[in-house]
Chain A
């Protein structure tokens, strides 16, 4: 059977842009058709903004790569019109088991909070993830949206000017030049775009190698996340077993630093390792094997004039905690509406600096969490190892030690505390919905809150009066009026009111809270809108 990652999904096709004497100027050019580049393209096209996605090959990613997608990115994908196929195909899981040495020390249940439309996590191979995004691009294209993917279009030079960017692009039929008003490189941790611009990428290198194997097997392992510290089959190292769709199991084996990656990757060396882990009798087939090393680092700024970096190109984390692709989708979620307002002349260019500020805040949180996980999984000193092993031994008998066990803190959206777009908190309400927070979902009868917020500025009122809409300097805000009388589960009150009797929230197009108050005040709300769009 041909795998989806072996089929060209966006084969090279000659563009009329290659046949002009003067470079054509496009509105937005995205470099890289990975998960983040495709999401950025959809963000733009859905808003009617012309976007061209360039990729240096013509296929979705090879092998499973990113496999764990968290609730917030799924909610973002809902806004992009392609959350449902991901959830339909993905594997949901709640239970995790932790093993130390030759024994299971404890198990946990994520016990996801009820009253959310989307699950806490799904596991889905990155190639499916990309395929569904490409399907969404095709759907938008068919509906006449200004989006195209150009396969086998490799950017070889970038020139940044005050009001545009020039690109030199290589294709199977030779090079051509293209101009763009804005460029968004989403070309991965090794970002050629970043290197072409000579921009730094500073941080910590971890001296470790991990073997990833995608294994197809009919096994009766439950749909759980199993993590081993120092198991007999991989002494002194760690291991992870996690289920993906189609009976594909993801296995990560830590190998240490001094290894020959080419030798370790050979099936004759991989298979005995897997047999030691899974049992001699388990029948399996190798789908994909790779060895990776990782680093935790980020760019100093994500904005470089008219070039806006997103995803791994801007920040790289260790894989523990599923914070790579998940945070990249939060980048484009943050960037999309801001770029649109700037391009439409409804917000100053400086609004884009807040993209850098807010997403650096997110990247630093992700880097901190994934670094801590790495330090727990791979203790750096003898004392670190003694403490780590003490935590694991204690966790078997004593519940208190379990929160200290760190095999990855799973991705949750960051709150943009201190963002220049936030107005000061004027509601004595729940901390989780303070200005800067991503709105938590809540059931509204048979429906849910987040789809009603959509992707525009919303004035969410709960038992408070307010006009049905208002406009402030080109920014339109529409009211969504709710009442605790309709809040059967109490989730709305718990998540948005707390002790307050009423609330008025200004919610940004990326569903983050910009301001909140107990009641509507026109002058203050207009000021909050100006602030949320970089005008104050």
Chain B
């Protein structure tokens, strides 16, 4: 079992972020929220490991101000 990666792990971070914003372009807020929900479920399935998903939920909650 591996740990949740919390150090930089995306090659071309700026390219990724631009692609993420582009995916949301011209969507209503409602559609954007729906897209984000689908995206996180797709990514969660890719990760698969239950303990990593639990750790990811915890990390995301910790950063909720």
Residues of B within 8 A of A404 (CB): 13-14, 17
| Interface mask (B9-41 → A, CB under 8 Å = 1, otherwise 0) | 110011001101100110101001100100000
A375, CB-defined interface residue at 8 Å: yes
A403 and B8 contact, Cβ closer than 8 Å, known pairs A375-B21, A381-B24, A387-B20: yes
A475, CB-defined interface residue at 8 Å: no
B57, CB-defined interface residue at 8 Å: no
B43, CB-defined interface residue at 8 Å: no
Cα separation A397 to B63 with both chains bound (whole Å): 7
B8 interface neighbour in A101, A397, A400, Cβ under 8 Å: A400
Residues of A within 8 A of B20 (CB): 387
Do A372 and B18 touch across chains, with their CB atoms under 8 A apart? yes
Do A384 and B21 touch across chains, with their CB atoms under 8 A apart? yes
B1, CB-defined interface residue at 8 Å: no
A369, CB-defined interface residue at 8 Å: yes
Do B29 and A372 touch across chains, with their CB atoms under 8 A apart? no
Cα separation A399 to B24 with both chains bound (whole Å): 25
Nearest CB of B to A403, in Å: 4
Do A384 and B14 touch across chains, with their CB atoms under 8 A apart? no
Do B63 and A369 touch across chains, with their CB atoms under 8 A apart? no
Residues of A within 8 A of B10 (CB): 400, 403
Please count how many residues in chain A sit with their CB below 8 Å of the partner chain's CB atoms.
24
A390, CB-defined interface residue at 8 Å: yes
Do A393 and B8 touch across chains, with their CB atoms under 8 A apart? no
Cα separation A340 to B40 with both chains bound (whole Å): 57
Q: Which residue of A lies closest to B16 (CB)?
A: A404
A264, CB-defined interface residue at 8 Å: no
Residues of A within 8 A of B64 (CB): 393
Do A400 and B7 touch across chains, with their CB atoms under 8 A apart? yes
A269, CB-defined interface residue at 8 Å: no
Cα separation A402 to B17 with both chains bound (whole Å): 12
Do B14 and A369 touch across chains, with their CB atoms under 8 A apart? yes
Residues of A within 8 A of B27 (CB): 383
Do A383 and B63 touch across chains, with their CB atoms under 8 A apart? no
A382, CB-defined interface residue at 8 Å: yes
Nearest CB of B to A384, in Å: 6
Do B24 and A400 touch across chains, with their CB atoms under 8 A apart? no
Do A399 and B63 touch across chains, with their CB atoms under 8 A apart? no
Residues of B within 8 A of A403 (CB): 8, 10, 13-14
Do B21 and A387 touch across chains, with their CB atoms under 8 A apart? yes
Report B34-56 residues with CB < 8 Å from chain A CB.
Answer: 36
Report A498-525 residues with CB < 8 Å from chain B CB.
Answer: none
Q: Which residue of A lies closest to B17 (CB)?
A: A404
A383 and B32 contact, Cβ closer than 8 Å, known pairs A397-B63, A399-B6, A400-B8: yes
Do A383 and B29 touch across chains, with their CB atoms under 8 A apart? yes
Do B32 and A381 touch across chains, with their CB atoms under 8 A apart? yes
A398, CB-defined interface residue at 8 Å: yes
Residues of B within 8 A of A372 (CB): 14, 17-18
A458, CB-defined interface residue at 8 Å: no
Do B62 and A397 touch across chains, with their CB atoms under 8 A apart? yes
A316, CB-defined interface residue at 8 Å: no
Q: Which of B7, B9, B14 has the most CB of A within 10 A?
A: B14
Residues of A within 8 A of B60 (CB): 394
A382 and B29 contact, Cβ closer than 8 Å, known pairs A398-B6, A403-B13: yes
Cα separation A375 to B18 with both chains bound (whole Å): 9
Do A396 and B63 touch across chains, with their CB atoms under 8 A apart? yes
Do A383 and B24 touch across chains, with their CB atoms under 8 A apart? yes
Cα separation A403 to B12 with both chains bound (whole Å): 9
Report A369-426 residues with CB < 8 Å from chain B CB.
Answer: 369, 372, 375-376, 381-384, 387, 390-391, 393-394, 396-400, 402-404, 406, 409
Nearest CB of A to B29, in Å: 5
Q: Which of B7, B10, B13, B33 has the most CB of A within 10 A?
A: B13
Cα separation A399 to B13 with both chains bound (whole Å): 13
Residues of A within 8 A of B18 (CB): 372, 375
Nearest CB of B to A291, in Å: 27
Q: Which of A376, A394, A400 has the most CB of B within 10 A?
A: A400
Cα separation A384 to B17 with both chains bound (whole Å): 10
Do B7 and A384 touch across chains, with their CB atoms under 8 A apart? no
Q: Which residue of A lies closest to B23 (CB)?
A: A383
Q: Which residues of B contact A (CB under 8 A)?
A: 5-10, 13-14, 17-18, 20-21, 24-25, 27, 29, 32-33, 36, 59-60, 62-65
Q: Which residues of A contact B (CB under 8 A)?
A: 101, 369, 372, 375-376, 381-384, 387, 390-391, 393-394, 396-400, 402-404, 406, 409
Known: A383-B27, A387-B20. 14 other contacts (CB 8 A): A101-B65, A369-B14, A375-B18, A383-B24, A384-B21, A384-B24, A387-B21, A391-B17, A394-B60, A397-B59, A397-B63, A403-B10, A403-B13, A404-B17
Q: List the 9 shortest-distance A-B pairs measured between CB atoms, nearest first.
A: A383-B32, A403-B13, A393-B63, A394-B63, A398-B6, A383-B24, A403-B8, A399-B7, A382-B29
Sample (11) of A-B pairs whose CB atoms are under 8 Å apart = A372-B18, A381-B24, A381-B32, A382-B29, A383-B27, A387-B24, A400-B9, A404-B14, A406-B14, A406-B17, A409-B14
